[in-house]
Chain A
Amino acid sequence: MRTLLASLVLVLSGGVALSTATDHFRAFTTEAARRIAVLEHPVDVPAVSLETETGARLDLAAFRGKWLLVDFVYTRCPTYCTTLGSEFAQLQSSLALPLAQHKVQLLSVSFDPEHDTPQRLAEYLQRFRTSDSGWLAARPVDQDGLALLEKSFGITVIPDSFGGYTHNAAIHLVDPHGRLVEIFDVGNSSLAAQAVMRRIAP
């Protein structure tokens, strides 16, 4: 009897604990948890100093007032960033109108600022972009800024076995108030485009 009681208490509290640990059995991975977390509690994006592919300095806060689609890349990347590059190119065409109206901005941020000089960032854009407008590539000016960005966006970068990096690649949507509000999987750029169109519709 006492065993039954103790076991029932353990099963119930264990169930509650596992449910809490998985956002009610919706997120078993850090990536899934990150998506749910920003949907439920948008994250303020820090005002980090960036240097763009033209060498111009600007603050991440300068994009307030626009819907901002952000991805994190390093230009030597042979895998995810290539996919992300072509997905941003697709977004350039599917979001051509709001991009031209300056309601939306695409931004690729390098997490390898030592290697990714403005010239390399420009080459990266050259490789993928279909038009000259609406898509910037930039690197954080200092390591602190990069760390702040990675922390607030939830980016984990780990060295791979080939001298490059592996990272959790995704498309991040920042609202005009500078809050990270939604995260989309790589391979789902049309979903991201639809979400943006829905949100900017008056």
Chain B
Amino acid sequence: MTARLQHSSARGALVLLLVLLAPPIRHALESSMTTQMLVQIPLLITVGVLLSAAVPARINAAMGAWDHRGITGLVLASFVGAFWMLPRSLDAAVTDPRFDIAKYLSAVLLIGLPFALSWKRMGFIVRGVFLLELIATFFRLGWLYLIWPDRLCNNFLLDDQQRLGRYMLLIGALLFFWITIKLMWGRLDSFAEALPPAFSPDTGGRHLYGGPDV
């Protein structure tokens, strides 16, 4: 990655973080369960992802030794993500400033940043497992929020919870279709990396199978 891209990525992370920290925007996003879960937290994760471009290559390489195929980063991001899926964590983030600070810090530094660094190290299988589990999580939580007769958060209304459930089901379905289309007609970039060179469709494969000479 070029230094210029690194620079603009880090600047983008900072600008986005400042926007999300602005009190009117923060209050607006936290006033509803839907926007807190589907807008605020994903944008905080995006800040972490953008920030990952600014991590020096030397440090990233050193971390790679502890992060074979991106497993460690994925485990970290998954556990922290699971914590912020607990209804009582979402509740506490609205009423307790310590939880809100923890949400901002952890979504950026413990979800977005490690996930982005690890994603590049993940092979096809790990990415596939992650994406399917992500889709399953959207379906599970979405279904739960949609059918649960009582409020799961004391700070949010029942219709907000049900709307969140509907959107999560929709997002899960869209992700599912996107992956299906990519698997059937597209090309997952990591597919080539994950396979030994001989099976790689654009280089070795041609020699192995005697592809067309052009």
Name A's B-contacting residues (CB within 8 A): 2-3, 6-7, 10-11, 14, 17-18, 21-22, 27-33, 156, 158, 160-161, 166, 168
Whether the pair A21, B89 counts as a contact (CB closer than 8 A) is yes
Q: Let me know if B191 is at the binding interface, CB within 8 A.
A: no
**Chain B hits for A158, CB < 8 A:** 154-157
Whether the pair B83, A18 counts as a contact (CB closer than 8 A) is yes
Whether the pair B71, A7 counts as a contact (CB closer than 8 A) is yes
Q: How big is the B interface, by class?
A: 20 to 34
Whether the pair B76, A29 counts as a contact (CB closer than 8 A) is no
Q: How far is the CB of A138 from chain B (nearest CB, A)?
A: 23
Task: Give me 24 A-to-B residue pairs in the complex whose CB atoms sit less than 8 angstroms apart, sorted by A's number.
Answer: A2-B68, A3-B66, A6-B67, A7-B75, A10-B76, A10-B79, A11-B79, A14-B76, A17-B83, A18-B83, A21-B83, A22-B86, A27-B88, A28-B88, A30-B88, A30-B91, A30-B154, A31-B154, A33-B88, A156-B155, A158-B154, A158-B156, A158-B157, A168-B154
Known contacts A30-B88, A30-B91; decide if A2 and B65 are in contact (CB<8 Å).
yes
Name B's A-contacting residues (CB within 8 A): 65-69, 71-72, 75-76, 78-80, 82-83, 86-89, 91-92, 95, 151-159
Most B CB contacts (10 A, CB to CB) among A30, A33, A161, A166 go to A30
Which chain A residue lies CB-closest to B90?
A: A30
Known contacts A3-B72, A31-B154, A156-B155; decide if A21 and B67 are in contact (CB<8 Å).
no
Name the prevailing secondary structure of the A interface residues: helix
The 8 closest A-B pairs by CB, nearest first: A14-B79, A3-B68, A156-B154, A30-B91, A6-B72, A30-B88, A29-B87, A10-B75
Whether the pair A30, B87 counts as a contact (CB closer than 8 A) is yes
**Chain B hits for A21, CB < 8 A:** 83, 86, 88-89
Bound CA–CA A161/B83 (angstroms): 29
Bound CA–CA A182/B138 (angstroms): 35
**Chain B hits for A6, CB < 8 A:** 66-67, 72
Which chain A residue lies CB-closest to B152?
A: A29
Whether the pair A30, B92 counts as a contact (CB closer than 8 A) is yes
Whether the pair B72, A7 counts as a contact (CB closer than 8 A) is yes
Which chain B residue lies CB-closest to A14?
A: B79
